[in-house]
Structure formats: C-alpha cells, structure tokens
Amino acid sequence: MSTLRTPRELADRDLISPGQLGEIERVAEHYAIAISPAMAALIDRNDPNDPIALQFVPQVSELMTTPEERNDPIGDLAHSPVEGIVHRYPDRVLLKAVHVCPVYCRFCFRREMVGPQGLGTLSPDALDRAFAYIAEHREIWEVILTGGDPLVLSPRRLSELMQRLASIEHVKIVRFHTRVPVVEPERVDAALIAALRASGKTTYVALHANHPRELTPAAREACARLVDSGVVMISQSVLLKGINDDPNTLAALMRAFVETRVKPYYLHHPDLAPGTSHFRLSLEEGRALVAGLRGRISGLCQPTYVLDIPGGYGKAVISPDAASMRDGCYAVSDFRGVEHLYPPA
C-alpha cells in the first residue's frame, strides 16, 4: 500500500464519494494531498465526522477564503535573512530544508509553501548559505529543522545535515518538528535514529499530533525507540474545531503524549491560513477549554496555549485568566472555578 495523492485514489478507497470528485479536483489544484497508509487505515469510513479524516481528506470548504486569511499567516517571509532560514527570535532559527510532508494537513499554516507546487528542497548552494548564516551568528543556540517535515529526508541526508551542525560550536540544541512517528512510524528505524543522534548535540523531537487515536501502538513504539535512544520528545498540537475542541478529547490526547514519554509543549490556536475557516474556533472557546484542563488532569499533561501573531511578531501565550485585583487583594480561581483572595506584598 502506498500514500494516497489524488482525488481519484481517495474515491477508490471510499474516502470521498464519486459525486465529490469534481469539486475535490478543484481543491487539489490549490493544495497538496497526501494520506499515508497508516493514516488511511486509521480512518473510520462509517463516521462522517471522523477526526482523522477531517485532518487529511480534502473538503470543498477549502475553496472558500475569508478576508482575514493570508498566504503567509505567521510571517515567515518577513524574517527570512537567507533562503531556508527564519530568524525571528535572537537565540534560535528555523531551518527549512524541505517543503515536502508525508501527509498534508488540511489546516496547514504553511499550505502555500509545502507540497509538490511549494518551495521544494533547498538547493546545495542555498543550503551552504543557510549553514554559513548559522555559523556567522554566534547568538544562535538552537536550530529547529522544520519545513515541510524534515524526517522525510533519508538517513544519509539527515546525518549530513547533523554533521554540518556538529561543526558549529555555538549550536547546542537541534530540534526537529515532525509528524513522521505518527503518520509513518515504520520510518523511525535504527538508521534514522542514528542520523538524528549523529551530531553529538542534544536532539529534541517535537511531535505533531492532534487526536488521541493518532497515538496507535505503532506510533507509541516509534516514540519509544526515539526516547530510548536519548532523544527528548515534546508535543505540538493545533486546536481544531470538530477534531479536538472538547475537554475529553484534549485530556485524552495530552495523557496519550505523557504515557508515550512525550511532554506536552504547545497547543496552537489555528492560524489564518487560506481556506481553513471551518477549523477555527474563537480565542474565548480555546481559553475555556485550556482552563478546563488545569486540575482535571495531571500537571504533566498541561500544554501551553499559544497564538502565532499574524504578520511575523512571534508567539503569544494565551493564558487562562491571571490574578485580578479585588478588595486590595489578588483574586485567583482554583480548578473548580472558585475564587480565593491572596494578599498583596
């Protein structure tokens, strides 16, 4: 079985109906499609709201773009000093070596840049310039490989990248943002893991998953292989309407990460990517969901809820209500929502 990439293949596998073929062909002209064998197998064809299908099977609503949506929702281009590098924060850069993914998420924030019609893979010359930039900027403590999904690269290419980073003394941390352990767990083999560890630097892997069902036994085993080899894992999820915007699903997702030794890191508010308004909920709804996790599930399971500020200003934490002042005291709420007073200093 191989990755499904065309509307025809989706129809043949019962993921869209033959009557939808025309409109989904139109979506395919704009946005890349890929559903890996592991994710195709996980979809429940009998559930019209299956949370795995909603993430990967294209829908006609993607053709509708709203005025506030933008092609570069988080402003990568505004902070790209050389091709393939995004340098928004002083001590860390994104290195986008590939713009290909093993699956294409329908809500992707970089959907205008990824896929066969996207920005492609960095040329050898562009890669040289990107490494030269990292080497020249001594304030860069961490390099974050993202894209696209860097783990689609072969172990040979990955270990080349890691060896080049190994030679840059001021880089101490290499972080990968990926969906591979979940969507293509068989790819996480000894050769790939050896490549990730090739630099002798500290390797972090941020795993992108949005629904607890994605943490299949095979996915959990892939993560176990990474963690056992000394990679530190953290999570990254997007809060998505109809997929994980309820307290039980979010709690189960965060617990599944912790059980898998993946520390919950970020829960992203959805970005203003074109054709994704059907996935967006309000900030108040998001804030209420996140506040509901506190106390209800272990502190280990708490993600930080963040919003990428449109235009390239970076991430802002959307915290549940902080302490307010009442009767000259700080008013704080416990996990049941009951207010208590704390004296000022």
The reply on whether position 104 binds ligand SF4 by CB under 6 A is yes
Q: Considering only CA atoms, which of 40, 30, 38 is closest in space to residue 10?
A: 40
Interface residue with ligand SF4, options 87, 88, 96, 179 (CB under 6 A): 179
Report whether 101 belongs to an annotated binding site: yes
The reply on whether position 252 binds ligand SF4 by CB under 6 A is no
* Segment contacting ligand PLP by CB under 6 A, of 89-97, 115-123, 220-228, 291-299: 89-97
Query: From residue 146 to residue 165, what is the string marking binding to ligand SF4 with x (rule CB under 6 A)?
Result: --xx----------------
- In the window 91-120, what residues touch ligand PLP (CB under 6 A)? 92, 94
- For residue 121, give both structure tokens: 């893979």
Interface residue with ligand PLP, options 15, 86, 193, 254 (CB under 6 A): 86
The reply on whether position 89 binds ligand PLP by CB under 6 A is yes
Supply the minimum distance, in Å, between the C-beta of residue 265 and ligand SF4.
15
Q: Considering only CA atoms, which of 24, 130, 27, 39 is closest in space to residue 87?
A: 130
Task: Pick the closer one to ligand PLP by CB: 21 or 316.
Answer: 316
CA torsion angle for 173, 177, 182, 188 (degrees, to 10)?
-50
Considering 92, 164, 255, 296, which one is annotated as catalytic?
92
**How far is Cα 139 from Cα 137, in angstroms, rounded to an integer?**
5
Considering 31, 50, 104, 110, which one is annotated as catalytic?
110
**Longest CA span, the chain:** 68
The reply on whether position 144 binds ligand PLP by CB under 6 A is yes
Considering 50, 72, 101, 266, which one is annotated as catalytic?
101
Supply the minimum distance, in Å, between the C-beta of residue 279 and ligand SF4.
12
- For residue 229, give both structure tokens: 């080899």
Supply the minimum distance, in Å, between the C-beta of residue 155 and ligand SF4.
19
Backbone angles phi, psi at 193, to 5 degrees: -65, -40
β-strand pairing of 202-208 with 232-238: parallel
* Segment contacting ligand SF4 by CB under 6 A, of 10-18, 62-70, 108-116, 126-134: 108-116
Report whether 301 belongs to an annotated binding site: no
- Contacted by 96, from ligand PLP, ligand SF4, none: CB < 5 to 8 Å by type: none
The reply on whether position 266 binds ligand SF4 by CB under 6 A is no
Supply the minimum distance, in Å, between the C-beta of residue 231 and ligand SF4.
19
Q: Which residues are catalytic?
A: 88-89, 92, 101, 105, 108, 110, 271, 308, 315
Known binding-site residue numbers for [4Fe-4S] cluster: 101, 105, 108
Which stretches of the chain bind ligand PLP, using CB under 6 A? 74, 86, 88-89, 92, 94, 144, 315
Which stretches of the chain bind ligand SF4, using CB under 6 A? 101, 104-105, 108, 110, 114, 148-149, 179, 208
